[in-house]
């Protein structure tokens, strides 16, 4: 008898039947250098978790990022918006989208918001006849969640600009070990109904501005923790702190 395979099957059966054991087991896995990803995939499959996205590469160690809310000069922004002239848009929807993005980029530049940390987020979205163009805040190629700029554009003219922004200040001097995306998905199981099918459509490593902070004293207003952002088929986002537990 293949005792290794039999042991694996037994563990899976136990884990599926008791979410408390799942969490205990994954913490035990995290204490080891090599996590058995195939075993984790079997656990997730038996728990009705379907992964319909590629899992991204990620750094093995990351530090907490300290950030500070940045407030905009609303009067200055309104002045820039009011000074716009309506662009000549063709009837092609593709051309109109390009023109709307160009208009948003122009206004962002005039407002001083196009920096090295600003990244255009595609695709664009339509709402009430307006094109919504989103810009993400990215630090070292990793997005800062809850930090973005959304321009509502129509006919090559920016109608509004909504900005919630965190300025990166500094990294903590210590880096913690990061767990993989599959391990993070295991952490979702205790809050999941056993009969529910959870379809994962997106997985991304982000800096998450957690209201509880990182427990480190700092003069900076907020702390952004490395976290896995897991998006389901309904568009709901779940966040799991990416640090391995010890």
Asked if 52 and 202 count as a contact pair (C-beta separation under 8 A), the reply is no
Of 232, 221, 97, the residue nearest 156 (C-alpha): 97
Cis omega (within 30 of 0) on the bond before 124? no
What pLDDT sits at residue 177?
93
Q: Is 234 exposed, middle or buried (0-12, 13-18, 19+ CB in 10 A)?
A: exposed
What pLDDT sits at residue 165?
94
DSSP label at residue 26? H
Low-confidence ranges of the chain (pLDDT < 70): 1-35, 86-94, 210-221, 246
DSSP label at residue 178? B
How far the first Cα of the chain sits from its last, in Å, is: 35
- What CA–CA distance (Å, rounded) separates 44 from 47? 5
Strands (E), 57-129: 61-70, 118-127
What pLDDT sits at residue 219?
46
What pLDDT sits at residue 55?
94
Q: What is the pTM of this model?
A: 0.78
- What CA–CA distance (Å, rounded) separates 106 from 109? 5
What pLDDT sits at residue 220?
46
The residues spanned by each domain of the chain are 74-165
CATH architecture label of 74-165: Roll (3.10)
Helical pair 19-30 and 37-46, crossing angle rounded to 10 deg = 170
What pLDDT sits at residue 72?
85
Q: What is the 3-state secondary structure (H, E, C) of 76-96?
A: HHHHHHHCCCCCCCCCCHHHH
What pLDDT sits at residue 156?
87
* DSSP element (H, E) containing 104: helix 93-110
Asked if 188 and 230 count as a contact pair (C-beta separation under 8 A), the reply is yes
What pLDDT sits at residue 94?
61
Q: Is 123 exposed, middle or buried (0-12, 13-18, 19+ CB in 10 A)?
A: exposed
What pLDDT sits at residue 144?
95
């Amino acid at each position: 008898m293949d005792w290794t395979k039999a042991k694996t099957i037994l563990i899976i059966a136990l884990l599926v039947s008791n979410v408390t054991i799942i969490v205990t087991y994954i913490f035990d896995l995290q204490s080891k250098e090599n996590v058995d990803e195939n075993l984790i995939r079997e656990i997730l499959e038996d728990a009705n978790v379907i992964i319909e996205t590629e899992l991204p590469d990620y750094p093995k160690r990351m530090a907490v990022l300290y950030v500070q809310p940045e407030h905009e000069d609303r009067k200055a922004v309104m002045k820039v918006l009011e000074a716009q002239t309506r662009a000549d848009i063709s009837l092609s929807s593709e051309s109109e989208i390009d023109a709307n993005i160009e208009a948003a980029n122009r206004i962002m530049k005039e407002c001083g918001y196009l920096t090295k940390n600003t990244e255009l987020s595609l695709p664009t979205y339509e709402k009430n006849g307006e094109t919504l163009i989103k810009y993400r805040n990215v630090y070292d190629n990793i997005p800062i969640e809850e930090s973005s700029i959304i321009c509502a554009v129509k006919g090559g003219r920016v109608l509004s600009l909504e900005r919630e922004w965190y300025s990166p200040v500094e990294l903590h001097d210590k880096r913690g070990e990061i767990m993989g995306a599959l391990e993070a998905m295991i952490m979702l199981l205790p809050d999941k109904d056993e009969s529910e099918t959870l379809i994962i459509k997106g997985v991304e490593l982000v800096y998450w501005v957690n209201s509880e902070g990182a427990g480190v004293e700092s003069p900076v207003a907020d702390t952004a923790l490395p976290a896995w952002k897991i998006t389901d088929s309904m568009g709901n986002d779940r966040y799991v702190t990416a640090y391995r537990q010890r």
